[in-house]
Structure 1
Amino acid sequence: MKAGLPLPQVTFRTRIRDESVDGPNPFRWQDMTTADYFAGKRVVLFSLPGAFTPTCSTYQLPGFENNAETFANFGIDEIYCLSVNDSFVMNKWAENQGLKTVKVIPDGSGEFTRKMGMLVEKSNLGFGMRSWRYAAIVKDGKVETWFEEPGISDNHAEDPYGVSSPENLLEYLQKEAAGIAAE
C-alpha cells in the first residue's frame, strides 16, 4: 500500500508551553515540519478520527501510551498520535489522558491527512472532514509498514478498529525481531 513512500512535507501549527509568556495561558505558537518530527528516527505514527472520542480515548491512545516501553525495546524512538484537530484540542486531550510518552500532532487543517490520502468526511457524526484510522511505522520520513483499517469511505457507518491497534503493531514488531515475515 503506502510502504516505501515518503511522508508529505507539511508545516504543523503547534502550541508549546513557554514560561516566558505572561498570563494564565503560557503557550506560544511554534511551527513544526514533517522533518522536525520524523527525520533520523524510527517512529510509530497513528492517526484517528478525533480527540476525546470513545475508541480513541479508551483503547487506541492509552494502548500506545501503556506500551511505550515495549515499543522502545523494538527500536521505536517516538510514538506520535495525529488527528485532524487543532493544537488547543490536541494539547488538552494529551493533558486529559496524562500522556508521558506519546506526543500529539495537530493536523488542524487536515493538510497532512489529505496528502496521505486518508481524509474522509464524517458529517454523519457531525465531525466534518477527519482522518481515517491508520497506523504506520516510519523510518527517517518514509513509511516502512502500513496498517489501515478496512473500508475507507466517506460517512462510514462504523468505526473499524483493530488493524491499527498497538497490539497489532507490537505483533508485527515481534515477528520482525524474530525474523519471521509479517503478513
Structure 2
Amino acid sequence: MIKQGDKIPAAELTVRRNDDNQTLKTEQLFSNKKVVLFAVPGAFTPTCSNTHLPGYVVKADDIKAKGVDDIICVSTNDIFVLNAWGEQQNADAITMAADGDASFTKALGLDMDTGSFGGVRSQRYSMLVENGEVKHLNVEAPGKFEVSDADTMLKLLSE
C-alpha cells in the first residue's frame, strides 16, 4: 500500500470537462500542485452520498483557502456515473475522476474485492499530495468513516 513519502504512481484517470471525456495522466493531475485526493467505494452509495462527498463540497472553499490547488474525488465507477453523481451533489469545486478499471486504485494498493456486490472497489481514504508526493494518508478501517472526511483534512492542512 502507498504510504507517506511515496510518489503517486503513474496511471490514468478520466475526467469530464466541457461535455468531453478527458483521460489525464497522474503526472498532469499532481505535478507542481497541492492536491487533496479522496476516494469512495462507489458513487450513489449511502455514506459516500450522504456524508463523504457532501463534506468536501461544503468545505471546498476552506480547503482551497489553505493553498490547495485541486480537490479530486476518485471512484472505480465509469465517468458517466461519476459525472452524474457530481452534478446531483453540486460538486462543481471537486474534480470527479473515474478509475473505471481500478488500475490507479490497484497501483496505490488501496483496492478491495467486494465480490458480487460491486467487484473491485476502492477502500475509503483521503490523502494530501504535494508535487506528486504523499504528505498525509488517511485510510479508513473496513465499514468505518472516521479519518477520510473533509474536517480531518482541514485539520491536517491547518497544522
* RMSD of aligned residue pairs (Cα, Å): 1.4
Q: Which residue does the alignment assign to 1:90?
A: 82
Q: For CA contacts below 8 A with separation 6 or more, give which structure has more relative contact order.
A: 2
Q: Which residue does the alignment assign to 2:121?
A: 130
Output aligned runs, 1:30-179, within 5 Å: 30-123=22-115, 126-151=117-142, 159-174=143-158, 176=159
Question: Once the 2 structures are TM-superposed, how far is the Cα of residue 105 of structure 1 from its aligned partner?
Answer: 0.5
The amino acid of 1:9's aligned partner reads: A
CA distance in 1, matches of 2:92, 2:16: 17
Which ranges of structure 1 fall in alignment gaps of 5 or more residues?
Answer: 18-26, 152-158, 177-183
Identity %: 36
Q: Which residue does the alignment assign to 1:10?
A: 11
The amino acid of 1:70's aligned partner reads: D
- Size of the aligned set, in residue pairs, is 158
**TM-score of the aligned structures, taking structure 2 as reference length:** 0.93
Which ranges of structure 2 fall in alignment gaps of 5 or more residues?
Answer: none
Question: Once the 2 structures are TM-superposed, how far is the Cα of residue 76 of structure 1 from its aligned partner?
Answer: 1.1
Question: Once the 2 structures are TM-superposed, how far is the Cα of residue 33 of structure 1 from its aligned partner?
Answer: 0.7
Is the 2:15–2:95 contact (alpha carbons within 8 Å) kept by the matching residues of 1? no
CA distance in 1, matches of 2:133, 2:57: 23
- Match of 2:72, SS state, is strand
**TM-score of the aligned structures, taking structure 1 as reference length:** 0.81
